[in-house]
Every structure is written in structure tokens, then in C-alpha cells.
Amino acid sequence: MIEVEKNFIQVSTITDAERIRADLGDIDSLATSIKRYGLIQPIVLGHLGDEITLIAGGRRLAALRRLSVTLLQHGVHFVWRDEVDASEDKRLRFKSMEIEENVKRKDLSWQEQVEGKRQLLQIMQAIHGVAKPGPTFKDEKGFGTNRLAAMLGDSSANTSRDLQLAEAMAQIPGLRNAETKAQAFTQLKILGSVVSMHRNATPNLPGVEKSWILHEDDFRKGGFIGSDSVDLIWTDLPYGADLQNMSLKSSAGASFDDTKGTALDLLLPIAHESFRVLRNDRYAVFCFGFDIYPELVKCLQIEGFNVALVPFIWLKNTKSTENPLSMYSNAYEPLLVARKGSPVFLIPGQSNVVNIPVVQDRLQVVQKPTDLIKKFLRDMVTPGSTVVDWCAGTGSTGVACHELGMRSILFEKSPSMAAIARARLGALK
């Protein structure tokens, strides 16, 4: 057996040939981190007869060799897996451990990765203490982002961003639904920009009327709007298609209840309130899903609306679908136009099809582009008119009305979406 001192071992005596992992990745960056911060996680060694073999830590050992390290200290650079004499059976067990670690393991999702970093940082800080803010050096006490990055062989900047995202997900659970970490970062930036604009917006001066009113409440409670006082209803109804299970991953964190039962419960109250508050000879426009189409038409007709049964079509230029092998992509959405009395368009001869791209960086999964809303505002009402949105979401109707010199009354009972809507509207100049 090779003579090994109690606390030290020569790197040259370690056998690590024929390991299953051939691509060790960026060893230079890992070596640089170890040189600057030290080796935080020791490699694992085992005895196999007269040999000392590597059990775990191939990348770390390669980085130590790259740094020309020749002598390893027990408890600092390495720990023993087993110190008894090995048999051929033990050799096979050691080999199986390495294969299991590198082949059979399941890659973590990006959500699990960033959460794992956050929890690992907390554990290491509980052991070593919290590092002082600023650059971290090898001999400095405490544990911080730089030491965590070195431990994981990652850059400090990337580790810092992941920790920031993990903390944000705890506050905004909807971020977890992003398909990729890059999308989650984009959504987080959008939300940060909206909140920043709201904080920096010029406050409303005394005597200056806002163009919008946002009720963070359920319109069904009643008493918010007088009868025959509104010029247009525009609202994006829940589709009743359980969109949360399909597409919430494209949302920046604001969620909604899209079950069919919830959507159906809204229809009659919305039809009743829309007819009540609308002036005579005015329009009401509803974005809807085909799952609730007949029920929506029936409720509107019961209240007295004249309904155009052929939907208005919004071409949104998308190609995504839940099952591209067997289903066509949903490249359009329908809108239903209802009339109280006999209104006429401001611009006659309009087509019932419009081609407007979807919002790329949506704050909410079904957020409609303001250009789509403006299309109906220009066709149906004049500047100075009052528009009501019963399901305001992130406030796009209010933004569109403000930009065209109109007033809006908005309702949104979801606290997360109402907060985003208030931030967007508060930033309007």
C-alpha cells in the first residue's frame, strides 16, 4: 500500500482514469476561483488496494492540477470515503457511484437551480457567518455571494443574478412559470421598470383630475357608477378555458382565475351592469373565449343588447400551440360587439378583422395590446368620453384611453394585477 502521511497526500498518487465524465467544462474559470477563494468543497477519495482513487470531484481535481497543486491536505482539499482494503467488488461499487452521479442524475430545472443556490447560501452563512459587503478575499471570514460562486464554479455576477431571482420568486410566485431563466429575468426587469416609473412619476397636483379611476374591488358589489353615464364598455373576460394551466408561464407574475365556472358566474352581472351604466346608442366590446360564447350571447340578449353574432377577429401573428404535431396554432382571438340602441361608427365601412401583433413582454398572460383597444376607441367614441373596463388586469384600457384623451373607470380585484395597473397608470404623463 502506498505510504500516506496522516494529513497529506500527493496529487500524483490519485487515480482518476476511465471516468464516465469526459467533458469537464470550463476548468480555467474554476481554477481561477479556487486560486482566489480556496477550495470550499473537498474532493472525495477512497482506497482500492494499493491505489487511491477519486470518488467524487473530478472537476475540482482537474482544477487543482491546472494550478500545479501537488500536495493535498486532509479536511481541506480531500476527505476519505472508505479507508479499508478494497476488493474487486468495492472497486465496482466505487465506479457505480461515479456513474450514478454523472449519468443517472436528473438535471435540475432553472427554478430548482436558483432556489438551491439561495438555500445553499443560507446554510453556508449559518456555518461560516455572513461576509461583509464588498469584494471577498480568500482570508476574509464569513460567506457571501463570491464564495458561493467559487464553490459552484460559477461567476459572481451570474450567482448574484440567480440569488436575486430566487428572492423575487418568493415575492412574485408567477415568475416560476417562465419557460427559461432568461424569460424570468426579462419579466422581473419589466416589473421593476413599471414600479420605478410609478415611484418617479409626477404626483397629481391638487385640482388636476386624473384620466383614470381604479377600483381594486369586485364591480358586482355595485354602487360604483351611475346609470346611463358611460360611453363605451371594453372588457377582456376570463375565457373559461383554464388558461392558467396552459399559458401562465408567459406571465410576469400576475395570475387570474380562468376556470369555466368563474367565467360563467361573471357573464350575467357584467351584461346587467354594462347595459345599466351605458348611455343609449352606445357600444360594448367583449374579448371572450369560445368555451363561453353561447352563454355570453344569451346573457347580453336577456339584458337588451343587440349582439353581432359574427365575432370581430383580432389576428395576433402568433404561431405557438400546445400540440404543434396535431393542432393548428391559435393565430387569432374573437371579440363580441354588442349595441345598446342604435349607435353608429365614427368611421364607417370598417372591417371586422384587424391585424395587430401581441405584446412581446407581457405583464400578464392575456394582456391585450393598447393598439387593439385604441382601434375600438377611435371607431366608437370621441375624446373626453368615459370608458369602463370590468376586468382591467394590468390597466391597458386605462393606458389606451389616456393616450387618446379619454377617461376610464377600471375594476380589478386581483391584488397583484391591481398593483401593476396602478403602477402603470400612475406613471402616465
Counting as low any pLDDT under 70, the low residues of the chain are 1-6, 17-26, 36-37, 40, 82-107, 133-141, 151, 153, 171-174, 187, 189-209, 240-258, 319-322, 361-365
Cα dihedral sign for 93, 94, 97, 99?
negative
Note the pLDDT of residue 364: 67
Match domain 8-104 to its CATH number in 3.30.200.20, 3.90.1530.10, 3.55.10.10, 3.30.300.20. 3.90.1530.10
Closest Cα partner for 421 from 255, 235, 214?
Answer: 214
Note the pLDDT of residue 222: 84
List the beta strands (DSSP E) in 163-268.
212-215, 230-236
Note the pLDDT of residue 88: 46
Q: Which amino acid is at 376?
A: F
CB atoms within 10 A of CB 244: 17
Note the pLDDT of residue 95: 47
Task: Specify the fold of 206-426.
Answer: Rossmann fold (3.40.50)
Q: Which amino acid is at 7?
A: N
CB atoms within 10 A of CB 197: 15
Cα dihedral sign for 338, 339, 344, 346?
negative
Note the pLDDT of residue 138: 47
Note the pLDDT of residue 207: 44
Lookup: cell for 357: 401583433
Q: Domain residue spans in the chain?
A: 8-104, 110-171, 206-426
- Run of H or E including 52: strand 51-56
CA distances, 45 to each of 23, 76, 214 (Å) = 20, 13, 65
Cα dihedral sign for 316, 320, 325, 330?
negative
Question: Which contacts (CB < 8 Å, 24+ apart) does range 192-197 have?
Answer: 194/363, 194/420, 194/423, 194/424, 194/427, 195/423, 197/423, 197/424, 197/426, 197/427
pTM over 0.85: no
Note the pLDDT of residue 361: 65
Lookup: cell for 337: 360587439
Alpha-carbon gap, residue 266 to 333, rounded angstroms: 20
Closest Cα partner for 266 from 235, 232, 304?
Answer: 235
Lookup: cell for 94: 466505487
